[in-house]
Structure 1
């Protein structure tokens, strides 16, 4: 069978819907059945989705289907019925907005000192807290190694903890911003991703969105803007 664009998009939708409903990736046979494709065509469809940057796969499993993750990236998101892994600070704060089920408990630890942090994140406004988000990898370089980039989008106790962590690991300063800005960044970034058909933002649209939520400068645009694509 030759896969059509519609076949591939149904696989994308079924994969995302499975993560949304259960918190985990559906078994291959169930995923193929939900998508209406032959089990033998599923790998080909997933390969296309990875090439299109809709998913990230390692060793035959989906590691990232933004904002959902298939393994621990240091953020959990919990409703009354379901537990998800968030792929990063951005994704973890985005899951409650995308699923529209009311506030959810987002939890993590500070990479520098190990302090536990948890917030009720929902659509009505940013959670209270003096913690700060720090993203290490500039947007133009995220897809050079998207797993590493997501692993380094974290929340710290304070800018002092950010500095301590960067010095410990001999890393450059990235972009540091408040929980309120993180909440704004996450609030509408994934709008429409659970619809049967979805079009990713182009680089100019992504840059405009970042500016709208208060994130500007070289880190968020830069000379490589033409290579920036939506996570």
Structure 2
């Protein structure tokens, strides 16, 4: 049997290749690069990319370029994450705090961003042992039930602000309703184990029930998180 006969198993091989490339280099692999790495036809790899996007393992643009493979991003969305040897774009506050928990060679990273309201620059050393110190807050605009309606928009609005006052000023200026605001400690707990296993294979995404249980385990509740 050819390595591409089982489409599900082949898509998992493609997913694992994409993720390990992102983790090692910070770069998104193209269809052609994955095809070379796996010794497969580009058309077959392209079909696997589409399947992975449908299953929400990756986010593609119209030309099948990878925009995100959470927690990694190929485009700047407000966060840079610097490890010992690698620079990543974090897809959002959640993803940026998750990277040191996922990447074996980066147990500690420097996460940098700016407050969307006032432009103040912020940076934290984020590691695996404890949350970083800081009085800043993270604000997530889009409820979890609608994350995938427009995932780039969602990730672009999971940001860190100087304070709740900056969140309120920004919401008023933009004419938006408040989402969910949390401390850096809660953000760190949310990120710590959310992406466990994504660099392993095979990998299975959480279903809504296990996702809800995870949110509760880190102290998040309410309808914003899909919890009654």
TM-score by length of 1: 0.93
Q: Distance in 2 between matches of 1:187 and 1:141?
A: 22
What's the counterpart of residue 120 of structure 1?
125
Q: Distance in 1 between matches of 2:186 and 2:38?
A: 36
1:83 equivalenced with 2:76 (yes/no):
no
CA-atom RMSD, angstroms? 1.3
Q: Distance in 2 between matches of 1:26 and 1:142?
A: 24
SS in 2 for 1:107: strand
Q: Is the Cα–Cα contact under 8 Å of residues 10 and 36 in structure 1 kept in the other structure?
A: no
1:149 equivalenced with 2:137 (yes/no):
no
TM-score by length of 2: 0.94
Alpha-carbon displacement from aligned partner over 1:19-50 (angstroms, at most 9, x marks no partner): 11110112433212323432221111100000
Q: Distance in 1 between matches of 2:133 and 2:69?
A: 28
Q: Is the Cα–Cα contact under 8 Å of residues 7 and 37 in structure 1 kept in the other structure?
A: no
1:171 equivalenced with 2:176 (yes/no):
yes
Q: Distance in 2 between matches of 1:176 and 1:93?
A: 16
What's the counterpart of residue 56 of structure 1?
59
What's the counterpart of residue 68 of structure 1?
72
Alpha-carbon displacement from aligned partner over 1:100-126 (angstroms, at most 9, x marks no partner): 322100000000000000000010100
What's the counterpart of residue 111 of structure 1?
116
Give the gaps of 5 or more residues in structure 1: 224-231
Q: Is the Cα–Cα contact under 8 Å of residues 3 and 45 in structure 1 kept in the other structure?
A: no
Give the gaps of 5 or more residues in structure 2: none
What's the counterpart of residue 142 of structure 2?
137
State the Cα distance separating 1:80 from its structure 2 match: 2.1
SS in 2 for 1:219: helix
Q: Distance in 2 between matches of 1:151 and 1:27?
A: 23
